[in-house]
Amino acid sequence: MEKQRRAYLFHFSRKDGRSFFLDPFQDPNEVMPVLESCELIGLYGNEPKVEAVTWFRNELYRKVESAVKVWVAERRFIPRFLVSSALFLLVYLFLSLVIRDPLPMVDELLVALGVSAALYVFLSRRDLSSAWSSKKRAELRGKVDSIYFEEDQFVREVEKNLHRLETGSPQQVLESIILSTDSFYAHLNAEAASQLARYIEQKLGSRELKRQEKKIRALLRAKRGNDKREIESLSRQFSAKKIDLSLFAVYHGIKSSSNKG
């Protein structure tokens, strides 16, 4: 029997106590495939508050509902389209050939279109409340309910590092990135680290992350990693793009530590 793939979900707390979660469901297209095919494991450093976990579970329920709507729409699109199209033709022909007082063609088309659209909406709502869609919804919500969170030393290290970075100035955080002072994790979990880095990329925007990493690598190649003016310039760019600099530093450290490992 093939071993089930693991998908990690992470809880972190900010220095000010705010909670945030990183998970594979940031891409709506991944909600159903991940829930159906993966073992879901939640990891935390400091134990999250009950209300934070409750909020997160409700968010996942909302994403499940959206995923089921898309799944139903894709699965039943052709039957609904064919039935609605047939009704459109029937109504149009009825108005054109049967009714003695002829309506303008535009009116006939509008009436036929309105009736067929109403049928399409009715069929969509019926499909969403059908037994098979309710079963799929219950299965996915059951997978959400099965998610458990456990303490993890790697996540605790990441969270501790995040808190330290949040207390530093933007220039200090950038210096730590450029000089790779935050790229060692004693309890590195390679599988979890790889997924965490991917989730941070999705959260911060992979295209912008790659652009800023390119600038940092250019500084390192030019051996100007301690150039204050260059660091201040980068800091202003991060602020202008509204990128979470502390989280970016954590991302950079995880990738560097994984490469060393």
143-180 per-position pLDDT tens digit: 999 999 999 999 999 999 899 888 887 777 777 777 66
Last residue of a domain, one of 98, 120, 145: 145
Please check whether residues 176 and 206 belong to one and the same domain. Answer: yes
Q: How many Å apart are CA 23 and CA 21, to the nearest integer?
A: 6
pLDDT digits (tens, 9 = 90+) for 53-100: 999 999 999 999 999 988 888 777 777 778 778 877 888 777 777 676
Structural domain harbouring 183: 153-260
Please check whether residues 122 and 162 belong to one and the same domain. Answer: no
Please check whether residues 196 and 120 belong to one and the same domain. Answer: no
Please check whether residues 46 and 69 belong to one and the same domain. Answer: yes
Residue 140, pLDDT score: 93
Please check whether residues 42 and 170 belong to one and the same domain. Answer: no
User: Which DSSP state fits 222?
Assistant: T
Contact, 152 vs 189, CB < 8 A? yes
Last residue of a domain, one of 145, 163, 183: 145
Please check whether residues 122 and 206 belong to one and the same domain. Answer: no
Please check whether residues 127 and 243 belong to one and the same domain. Answer: no
Please check whether residues 221 and 133 belong to one and the same domain. Answer: no
pLDDT digits (tens, 9 = 90+) for 92-148: 777 777 676 666 777 777 877 888 888 778 777 777 777 888 899 999 999 999 999
Lowest mean pLDDT among 13-27, 28-42, 187-201, 222-236: 222-236
3-state class (DSSP) for residue 181: coil
Number of domains in the chain: 2
Please check whether residues 160 and 47 belong to one and the same domain. Answer: no
Q: Which alpha helices (H) appear in the chain, and where do they start and end?
A: 31-37, 50-93, 105-128, 131-145, 153-166, 170-178, 190-204, 206-221, 228-241, 245-260
List all residues 6 or more positions away from 6 whose beta carbon is below 8 Å from its beta carbon.
38, 39, 40, 41, 191
Q: How many Å apart are CA 36 and CA 68, to the nearest integer?
A: 12
Please check whether residues 129 and 49 belong to one and the same domain. Answer: yes
Predicted TM-score (pTM) of this structure: 0.76
Please check whether residues 15 and 137 belong to one and the same domain. Answer: yes
Tokens linked to 181: 């002072």
Indicate the pLDDT class of residue 205, thresholds 50, 70 and 90.
confident
Last residue of a domain, one of 145, 168, 200: 145
The backbone torsions φ and ψ at residue 24, rounded to the nearest 5 degrees and listed phi first, read: -80, 5
Tokens linked to 248: 């970016």
The backbone torsions φ and ψ at residue 150, rounded to the nearest 5 degrees and listed phi first, read: -135, 155
Q: How many Å apart are CA 42 and CA 6, to the nearest integer?
A: 10
Please check whether residues 192 and 227 belong to one and the same domain. Answer: yes
